[in-house]
Amino acid sequence: TTLGLVTTSLALHAPSQVAAAVKRYANAADYQVLIAMIDENVNQSLQNCINELKSQRVDKVIINVPLESSDAEQIVQENDDILCLFLDVDPYSAVFNVSFNPADGTRASVKYLYEQGHREFALLAGPEESVSANLRLKSWLDTLESYRLKPVSVSHGNWDAQSGYNGVLQLLREAPEFSALLVGNDQMALGVLSALHQRGVAVPGQISVIGYDDTYESAFFHPALTTVSLDLDLQGKEAVARLLLASEQDEQRSSSILPAKLVVRSSTG
Ligand code: IPT
């Protein structure tokens, strides 16, 4: 009657909202949730977290940690006494997962900006170590290429607001000529809006900004953020439901891919 959750930093908005949902839906099914949070050195400490949960008699665990498919498969192989469901892996990997389509929302973002007349795009992606950040970046690039465009510059942040703040200042130094900026998540977009405001750059007058996640706060940014909505509550709900249904038999472990949708607010025009 206890589920485990191993999560990346809860200082980040998306994982904290997923954790809240996992706890709520597990509790509603009369399960407790033990949370282990990992920060650095993902591969090493992930196994430690799993061991910690096993020692507390947990036999089903949700893993919200960015993992390459091969690393996730290795975790599964080395832990046959605990059932693992992954939230931050390539949706098409072989492991049991509930994840988001990494291409639909990104494609819609580029298309929307293109149709608004934008041709000069800058990209501020999430960390290079993150599978999801790279899949989002790849999809932006592929979509731009389908319009025969290349970004004027590309940079990476580490998901937090400070890195968005620094990142956009770097982009402006490298290639000031862009009218559209795609950002890997909402927290970095918050830093971007702050830096642009301080520089007197009008959003969306001079630069349109699109975030990613649609975390709860993004509707309250100034201007309200256009972003890609991930239903993080639904991800938590599906993860709990699928994990509780799953038995030792592989057939019952069905993965699912949730849609990501563009939500247009005031930071684009
Ligand atoms: C991903 C978020 O989009 C990003 O903002 C950041 O919080 C990251 O998680 C932390 O790992 S969502 C994930 C399920 C791909």
Which atom of ligand 1 is least distant from the CA of 66?
11
Q: What's the pLDDT at 183?
A: 98
Return the residue whose CA atom lies nearest to atom 2 of ligand 1: 14
Separation of alpha carbons 221 and 200, rounded Å: 17
- Mutation test of ligand 1: which of 6, 98, 132 has the most ligand atoms closer than 8 Å to its C-beta? 132
* pLDDT tens across the length of the chain (269 residues): 899 999 999 999 999 999 999 999 999 999 999 999 997 666 668 999 999 999 999 999 999 999 999 999 999 999 999 999 999 999 999 999 999 999 999 999 999 999 999 999 999 999 999 999 999 999 999 999 999 999 999 999 999 999 999 999 999 999 889 999 999 999 999 999 999 999 999 999 999 999 999 999 999 999 999 999 999 999 999 999 999 998 766 666 788 999 999 999 999 99
Give the number of other Cβ atoms within 10 Å of residue 241's Cβ. Answer: 15
Instruction: Say yes or no: CB of residue 213 within 6 Å of ligand 1.
Output: yes
Q: What's the pLDDT at 254?
A: 82
Q: What's the pLDDT at 109?
A: 98
Instruction: Say yes or no: CB of residue 15 within 6 Å of ligand 1.
Output: yes
Write the Ramachandran bin of 191: left for phi over 0, alpha for psi from -120 to 50, otherwise beta.
Answer: alpha
Phi first, then psi: what are they for 181, rounded to 5°?
A: -130, 120
Q: What's the pLDDT at 42?
A: 67
Q: What sign for the dihedral angle of Cα 108, 190, 266, 219?
A: positive
Q: Which of 21, 23, 19 is nearest to 9 (CA)?
A: 19
- Residue 247 in contact with residue 96, Cβ under 8 Å? no
Give the number of other Cβ atoms within 10 Å of residue 233's Cβ. Answer: 16
Q: What's the pLDDT at 45?
A: 87
Beta bridge partners of 45: none
Q: Which helix (H) or strand (E) segment is 205 a member of?
A: none
Q: What's the pLDDT at 169?
A: 97
Distance from residue 157's CA to the centre of ligand 1 (Å): 13
Q: pTM for the complete prediction? A: 0.95
Separation of alpha carbons 136 and 157, rounded Å: 13
Instruction: Say yes or no: CB of residue 161 within 6 Å of ligand 1.
Output: no
Copy the structure tokens of residue 180. Answer: 């559209």
Separation of alpha carbons 141 and 135, rounded Å: 10
Beta strands in the chain (DSSP E): 2-7, 32-37, 60-64, 83-86, 98-100, 121-125, 153-156, 180-183, 208-210, 227-230, 256-258, 260-263
Which atom of ligand 1 is least distant from the CA of 131?
15
Distance from residue 14's CA to the centre of ligand 1 (Å): 6
Which atom of ligand 1 is least distant from the CA of 212?
3
ipTM value greater than 0.95: yes
Distance from residue 15's CA to the centre of ligand 1 (Å): 6
Separation of alpha carbons 247 and 244, rounded Å: 8
- Say if strands 32-37 and 2-7 run parallel, antiparallel, or are unpaired: parallel
Q: What's the pLDDT at 41?
A: 62
How many CA atoms, within 13 angstroms, populate the side-chain half-sphere of residue 182?
Answer: 32
